[in-house]
Structures are given as C-alpha cells and as structure tokens.
C-alpha cells in the first residue's frame, strides 16, 4: 500500500465530505417552518414535497450531524442543526402516553403511522446517544435510556432470547406473517448492537454493557451462519430459519416476488450487511475494551466472503446479495452496501494488514466516486445497474438519507489516517 | 369420596384457619413501634427478638393477610394489617435510589443486606398485586409494576431466555458460583409464574400476560424434566443442568454437604415443589382463560409422581426429595411441602376426579392435623422426622412464616367446597 495512494483517496474522501455531502444536507435539510428535517429530494436535490417525516430518517439525520460534529466537521453548524432535530423528535415524535417514537409523521408533526417499530428505535438510541456524546446536551441520553428500558420491557423474548420488533402503539406485539410479530431479524439485532454500543459509550452502565454482550453472542452464534458467518435475515421465535418475507412496515426497497417472499428465501445473505456487521462488531469490541483479534477468525471469514463473492472485479462496486456458500444472485449495486464495505475493508486492512482488503477498498472507492456520486449535486444514487448506470435517482427519502454516505466518509477518513500513522 | 368425609375435613380446616392460624398471627405480628411485621417466634409463639425484617417474610405476610381478606376472612382486620405492612415495605424497604427492595432490614428499618434478590422480588410482586386486588389500594399494583419493569430491564438473559436472580444493590449481576450470578433456578421461575399470574389478574395488561406465557413455556419445556416433568433445581445460562449448590444468600434451610453441594446434586427433585408448580400452573391457566386440561398429560404425570414417590403411606405426610425417575432420598417432613401437596392433590381431584388424589389428600391432611400443627399454639412445626416428631420447632422466622400454612387452608377449603358443589 503506497502512502501516496492512500493519501490521495483520503483527500478525495475529505473533499467529497466537506464540499459536497455535508453542504448538500446543511443547505436544505432544516425545516424552518415545522421543525425537524426535510428528507425528500429528487435527482437534482429539489424538495419533492412528500409529506413524510419518518423516525428512521429523522434519527439518521441526527446521527449524521452529531457524529460529523464529534469528528470535527462543521464548525458548530452541525451541532446547531442536530439540536433542531432533537427538538422535533422529542417534542413531536415522542408518544407521551405509551412512550417510544411514532413510526411516521407528516411534515407538520401529525402522526401518520403510530406503530412502534424497533428498527426505528434502534436508530433513535444510536443517534440520541451520539448527540449527547457530541454536544453534551443530556436530553439525548435521557431519551436513549428511556427507549432502552421500553425495549427491555416490551420487546425481549424471555423464552428463547432476542428481540421482537413489530408492535402496536401501546407496545402489544403485532400478529404473525407480514405483520412481523412472529419474526426475529438480523437487521434489528445488528442495529441494536450498533445502538447499544454508542449507548454504552455514553453511559458506561453495566446493564447496557451486559445487553450489548448478550446481543453480540446472539449475532455471532445464532444469527450468523455457523460455517460462513454470513448473516441470516429472518428467524422464527425458536431461531429456526424463516423464509425471508416482506413486512407490512418497510424501511427499504428490497425486492420481493409478488407473494411477498424473497427469491431464495432461506439461502440469502447480503454483502453490505455482512461487512457492516463486521466493522460494527469491531467498533463494539473496542468500546467494550475487548481485543477485536479475539474474534479474528470470524472477522476474517466475513471479510473474505465479502471480497470473494461481493466485489465486482469487472465493473467495480459491491453486489446486492447471494447464497451463503458463495456466488451471487443479484448483481445490481445499492448505495448503502458500497458505503458499508468501504469501512469494513479498511478495518480489514487495519486488523490484518492484508493487501487484498486494500485492493477491495480501492475497487469500491473508485466505483463510488466514479459512478455512485451524483456529480454536481453531491449525494449518492440509491441504486445502479451492475455497470453503474443509475436505476433509482432520488437523493433523499424516508429510507435513503445521509447516514450511510456521511458515515462512510467520516469513518473511512479516520481509518485511512490510522493506516498512514501505522505505516510511518 | 363421601360428602360427609369431605365436609368433616373442610370444617377441620376452617376451624384451624379461623381459630388457630389467623389468630396466631393477628395477635402478635404487628410491630406497633417500628412498623411492618414481627416474624420471629419460638415454639411457644413468643417473640425471639431476632433483629430481622426480611423481604420475603414481610411480603409473604402481606400476601397472607391480603389473600385471606379477599377470601372473606377477618372482617376487615386483615386488610388493616395488610395496609400496615405495605406502609413499611414502601416506606422503609424500597430503595429510592436504584429501585427495588432491600433484601434484609433490622426491625427499626435500617438496611442489613442491600442486595437485590429476585426470589424476594417475586413475592413482592405477588403480594402487592394481591393487596390491590383485596383492598383496592392502588399503591400495591403501582409498585408491583415497578418491580416487574426492573426485572425485565435488569434480570432477563436476552441471549438464552429466562431470568438471572442475584444482583448487587445497583442491579449489577453478582459473580458466579455461590454468589449465584451464573445460575438460573426452578425456584425463581416458578415463583415468577405465581407472581406474574396475580399481577396479570390485577392489571389485565398484554405485556404481563405475554411474559407469564413465556415463563410457563420455559418451565414446561426447559426447566421441568422432559420425561418425569419434575422440576430440575438449577441450570447454567444455556440451560444445561447445574449441580445444585448452596448460595450465599439463602431463604431456607435446605441441607447441603460441607462443600456447599447437594447430595445427588444433579438428580434431585422436590415433591412439594412439584405439586406446588402443578397447582400454580393450573391457577395461572385459569387466570389466562386457558383450559388446564390442555396440559392434562403433564399435570397427571406430576401429580402421579408426587403420589407414587412423595407420599409416605406408612407414617403419613410428604417426603422431602428424591431422584427424578422415582424413589426417595430424604424421608423427613417439611411443613411447606405438606401445605403445597394438600392444594395440589385437591386440584388433582377437581381436574381428573381420580380417587387416589383424594386418598393422598386425606393422608397428608391427617399428618398435618395430627403431627405438624403445634397444638395449643396454632402454627406448624417447620421440620419433623419421618414419624412426625418435631426436629425444628420455631413458629416464625425470616423464611418460615404464614404464607404456606394460611394459603394451604384458604385454598383447600375453596377446593373442597368446589368438590362438594360438583358432587351435588
């Protein structure tokens, strides 16, 4: 790994983050009239007017602003905007009667969907904890802890372990099937690991540490494939694998067949998710003060699976998904998977010093900068063909926002700086 | 079953309850000076002066008074005494800083042991819920729900399910081995079933119902022996059977060898516990509006195991414990096991109409009335030899109080009335 090559890519990332990505958002996200953030933008970055403020988009914007401020960007502007977001979340989205956040509001702050969805609440814990770490405003951690307590009370399966994730407003569990009340998912457990990590970083409380460790144990020994260590998307209550179905409440545009099942519904894993899991695990272990190399074998297997199966060596970038044992089902390119693999590959470099992870990083970095970034506008296209032609072109939506893109730049820059330090 | 025979035994129970048992306690339990209940009495019913107010004894007294009042006894005196107990529990034993009840106080209300022990908290939920059901005073259920919430937050193992049970004052988990922080027990899960049943009876809340059902599932399918349906006392976190050891914090005088292990540490089951489990399960199912006959096979196996192994057909009464597959290790007679088998056998009669359960009831009833009751004093001897000679003779102590004795009479009378109704 050439130092100059690393510096060049790092500077490209800094430039993108500070002159394109962050300005894209700071110039247009603040809703001066109703509070909170505007999150719906078309290919040109114009407000589409869609009358939605979703829990995940509001929370993810808060994370983005807070974490970028904590990393040293924005000269205070990001912290100010973050506070503006917290005011809306706590003032308008919090359910004062039953606790927790509503899933979907209109722009004015009226409730559109009052259900309690744990995927959204994991981001609320994550972002509110990060907000307090970044700004010192204790309101963030106060509400993050409230959500943690609600989740422990209402969402744990005390029979088989793990968390249920789909609830009515009053925290009664939703029904089975597409309502989701009989399913446990990789998605929610991984994002709870991410959330509990930052919660514990902020509080240092034993109960937060303990629940984080229990969740990591579940992820490593139940949710990940026993051989390939790849994530298995859905389970029934006793952790038998469930066919991957589409839920009534969604937070993405995963493609399903007409009957609501995935093709290859029981043998499907997602490269971006696996790389994200691996680097979030490394981060969690660091916060827990556990040596990540105590899990070297698992991390190696995951990173290698990503490199060997997920990276498109011909056109660049990361594929969508494939079978656990190797191979690819879907060769299109989703923006967020590129973002997560960037960070994961740099962690692979830092932990194992293996050049193949650097090559993979370079591959995806190039694809992102040459194809995924919407030049002159500043955000990323959400979905591209294998060759890199945009398929979906909106810049912002309730479930396409700045969390993956900004985090990928902030975290990649940090890691490239570390690699440079180590090679001095 | 002769109606006259049933009536005779029922009237004997009513007489004992109303002229001996309840007066024994109402005359001497009220601590006028420091509040709460005095719980230490010698063989003659004299206050021993032992400077202890334990969470379980205070809570069990509260249950006894509340449940007997709800069943129609005492003309209001029991409810008054119950309120006196609640005042002390909430005013003196509640930890205002970390939540939950201290384990052990002195009589004045100073903390002697500040640990948070779930066995005690299960009785706090049980008794405070019963208190509100009996008196309408909402303070009971308010604190019962607070404890439920604390237990869900701090005590659940979100990896393997079930509840941890030994905590420091601030709800950090205690260490392994005799500290108990690596053990899960039948005892706590069974008493949480009992507690959640009355909690749910009082609140009707879905989350209380859900956690009760999950706990019943654990008890039936993990904690009970797969073949004999007898209770297995101790487990490690992943539900592998743990050798039965003595904990640093105890609530009984189970006999252990010098190294703190039970004889037959991994093949030991207790007849009174099994019968208690069965009738508490029947009661839980009734409160849940689930037909107990949906579990007919399990209930039959447990009741038959009790009759075939636990009942002493020569000298009368119930033995202490023996191996799961049948036979007896310990032929002494503990008071509380007699009490629980009485109720269990009457439930066997009601559910299955089987005469052998009535014969077993009569056997234990006779043994209790002829040997266990301390005549002229009114309470029961805690431990007797096989033949019925008293070994331990105190009438009250931090872990020998009125909960088993009064409950056995109240519940047996109710059941004999039902049997009489059915046979009309």
Chain segment A252-290, per-residue pLDDT in tens: 877 777 778 777 878 889 999 999 999 999 999 999 999
- Chain A residues whose C-beta sits inside 8 Å of any chain B C-beta: 149, 152-154, 156-163, 170-173, 206-207, 210-211, 214-215, 217-218
Spatial CB neighbours of A174, under 8 Å, sequence gap ≥ 6: A115, A166, A167, A168, A180, A181
Pairing of strands A234-235, A184-185: antiparallel
Q: For residues B338 and B250, what is the distance between their CA atoms, to the nearest angstrom? A: 21
Q: In chain A, whose CA is at the least distance from the CA of B214?
A: A159
pLDDT at B119: 97
Statement: residue B254 has pLDDT above 80? no
- What is the average per-residue pLDDT within B84-99? 98
Indicate the pLDDT class of residue B104, thresholds 50, 70 and 90. very high
Half-sphere exposure of B84 (CA within 13 A, CB side): 19
pLDDT at A423: 85
pLDDT at A258: 74
Count the Cβ atoms, other than its own, within 10 Å of residue B423.
11
pLDDT at B76: 98
CA dihedral for A195, A199, A205, A209, sign (positive or negative) = positive
Q: For residues B185 and B277, what is the distance between their CA atoms, to the nearest angstrom? A: 13
| Separation in Å, CA of B222 to nearest CA in chain A | 9
ipTM: 0.94
List residues bridging with A344 in a β-sheet: none
Indicate the pLDDT class of residue B265, thresholds 50, 70 and 90. confident
Q: In chain B, whose CA is at the least distance from the CA of A156?
A: B158
pTM, two decimal places: 0.96
- What is the average per-residue pLDDT within A151-156? 98
Q: What three-state secondary structure class fits A235?
A: strand
pLDDT digits (tens, 9 = 90+) for B324-335: 999 899 999 999
pLDDT at A346: 98
- What is the average per-residue pLDDT within A206-231? 96
Quick one: what percent of chain B has pLDDT higher than 90?
93
Higher-confidence position of B269 and A73:
A73
Statement: residue A336 has pLDDT above 90? yes
- What is the average per-residue pLDDT within B332-357? 97
Q: For residues A239 and A183, what is the distance between their CA atoms, to the nearest angstrom? A: 9
pLDDT at B268: 86
pLDDT digits (tens, 9 = 90+) for B49-72: 999 999 999 999 999 999 999 999
Q: What three-state secondary structure class fits A266?
A: coil
* Of the partner residues B156, B172, B211, the one whose CB lies closest to the CB of residue A206: B172
pLDDT at A318: 97
B159, B182, B184: best mutation site toward chain A, by most A Cβ within 10 Å? Answer: B159
Q: Which residues of A touch B218 (CB under 8 A)?
A: 158-159
- What is the average per-residue pLDDT within A59-69? 98
Q: For residues A95 and A284, what is the distance between their CA atoms, to the nearest angstrom? A: 30
Whether the Cβ atoms of residue B294 and residue B285 lie closer than 8 Å to each other: yes
Can you count the helices (H) and strands (E) in chain B? 13, 12
Q: For residues B189 and B231, what is the distance between their CA atoms, to the nearest angstrom? A: 11
Q: What three-state secondary structure class fits A254?
A: coil
Statement: residue B263 has pLDDT above 80? no
pLDDT at A261: 78
CA dihedral for A253, A257, A261, A265, sign (positive or negative) = negative
Average pLDDT of every residue of chain A: 96
List residues bridging with B241 in a β-sheet: B235
Q: What three-state secondary structure class fits B35?
A: coil
Q: What three-state secondary structure class fits B334?
A: strand
Indicate the pLDDT class of residue B227, thresholds 50, 70 and 90. very high
| Separation in Å, CA of B320 to nearest CA in chain A | 30
- Whether A153 sits inside 8 A of B158 (CB atoms) is no
pLDDT at B133: 98
Statement: residue A356 has pLDDT above 90? yes
pLDDT digits (tens, 9 = 90+) for A166-211: 999 999 999 999 999 999 999 999 999 999 999 999 999 999 999 9
First to last CA, chain B: 12
Statement: residue B313 has pLDDT above 90? yes
- Whether B207 sits inside 8 A of A162 (CB atoms) is no
- Whether A157 sits inside 8 A of B214 (CB atoms) is yes
Angle between helices A403-422 and A55-70 (to 10 degrees): 30
Q: Which residues of A touch B152 (CB under 8 A)?
A: 152-153, 156, 158
pLDDT digits (tens, 9 = 90+) for B289-299: 999 999 999 99
Eight-class DSSP state of B248 = S
Burial of B379 (0-12, 13-18, 19+ CB in 10 A): buried
Burial of A422 (0-12, 13-18, 19+ CB in 10 A): exposed
pLDDT digits (tens, 9 = 90+) for A377-413: 999 999 999 999 999 999 999 999 999 999 999 999 9
Spatial CB neighbours of A66, under 8 Å, sequence gap ≥ 6: A78, A79, A82, A127, A130, A131, A133, A134, A135
Q: For residues A174 and A182, what is the distance between their CA atoms, to the nearest angstrom? A: 8
Q: In chain A, whose CA is at the least distance from the CA of B172?
A: A206
pLDDT at B286: 98
**C-beta pairs of A216-221 under 8 Å, 24+ apart in sequence:** A216/A281, A216/A284, A217/B159, A218/A161, A218/A162, A218/A189, A218/B158, A218/B159, A219/A186, A219/A189, A219/A190, A219/A193, A219/A277, A219/A281, A220/A281, A220/A295, A220/A298
- Whether A218 sits inside 8 A of B161 (CB atoms) is no
Indicate the pLDDT class of residue B309, thresholds 50, 70 and 90. very high
Indicate the pLDDT class of residue A91, thresholds 50, 70 and 90. very high
Q: In chain A, whose CA is at the least distance from the CA of B164?
A: A158
pLDDT at B251: 87
Place of tokens 């869900």: B152
* Residue-wise burial string across A211-235, b where 16 or more C-beta atoms lie within 10 A, e elsewhere: bbbbbbbbbeebbbbeebbbbbbbb
Which alpha helices (DSSP H) does B186-313 contain, by range? 186-203, 206-218, 271-287, 296-305
CA dihedral for B112, B115, B119, B125, sign (positive or negative) = positive
pLDDT at A382: 97
Q: In chain B, whose CA is at the least distance from the CA of A214?
A: B159
Angle between helices A186-203 and A139-154 (to 10 degrees): 140
pLDDT at B243: 93
Spatial CB neighbours of A179, under 8 Å, sequence gap ≥ 6: A166, A247, A248
């Amino acid at each position: 790994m050439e130092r100059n090559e690393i510096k060049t890519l790092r500077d490209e990332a800094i430039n993108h983050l500070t002159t394109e990505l962050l300005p894209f958002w700071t110039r247009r996200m603040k809703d001066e009239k109703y509070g909170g953030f505007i999150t719906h933008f078309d290919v040109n970055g114009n407000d589409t007017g869609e009358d939605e403020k979703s829990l995940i988009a509001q929370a993810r914007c808060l994370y983005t602003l807070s974490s970028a401020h904590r990393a040293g960007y924005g000269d205070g502007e990001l912290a100010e905007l973050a506070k503006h977001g917290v005011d809306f979340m706590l003032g308008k989205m919090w359910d004062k009667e039953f606790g927790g956040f509503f899933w979907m509001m209109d722009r004015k702050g009226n409730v559109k969907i009052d259900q309690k969805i744990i995927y959204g609440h994991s981001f609320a814990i994550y972002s509110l904890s990060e907000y307090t770490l970044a700004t010192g405003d204790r309101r963030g951690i106060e509400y993050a802890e409230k959500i943690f307590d609600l989740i422990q009370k209402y969402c744990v399966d005390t029979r088989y372990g793990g968390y249920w994730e789909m609830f009515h407003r009053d925290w009664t569990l939703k029904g089975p099937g597409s309502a989701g009340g009989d399913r446990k998912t990789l998605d929610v457990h991984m994002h709870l690991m991410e959330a509990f990590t930052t919660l514990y970083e902020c509080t240092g409380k034993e109960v937060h540490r303990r629940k984080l460790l229990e969740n990591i144990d579940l992820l490593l020994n139940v949710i990940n494939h026993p051989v390939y260590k790849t994530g298995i998307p859905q389970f029934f209550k006793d952790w038998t694998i469930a066919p991957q179905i589409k839920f009534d409440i969604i937070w993405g545009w995963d493609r399903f067949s007409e009957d609501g099942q995935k093709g290859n519904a029981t043998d499907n894993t997602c490269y971006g998710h696996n790389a994200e899991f691996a680097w979030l695990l490394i981060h969690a272990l660091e916060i827990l003060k556990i040596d990540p190399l105590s899990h070297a074998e698992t991390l190696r297997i995951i990173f290698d699976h990503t490199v060997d199966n997920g990276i498109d060596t011909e056109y660049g970038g990361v594929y969508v998904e494939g079978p656990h044992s190797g191979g690819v089902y879907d060769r299109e390119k989703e923006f967020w998977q590129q973002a997560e693999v960037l960070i994961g590959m740099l962690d692979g470099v830092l932990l194992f010093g293996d050049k193949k992870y650097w090559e993979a990083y370079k591959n995806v970095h190039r694809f992102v900068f040459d194809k995924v970034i919407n030049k002159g506008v500043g955000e990323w296209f959400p979905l591209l063909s294998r060759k890199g032609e945009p398929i979906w072109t909106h810049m912002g939506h309730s479930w396409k926002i700045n969390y993956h893109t900004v985090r990928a730049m902030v975290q990649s820059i940090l890691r490239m700086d570390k690699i440079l330090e180590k090679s001095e």
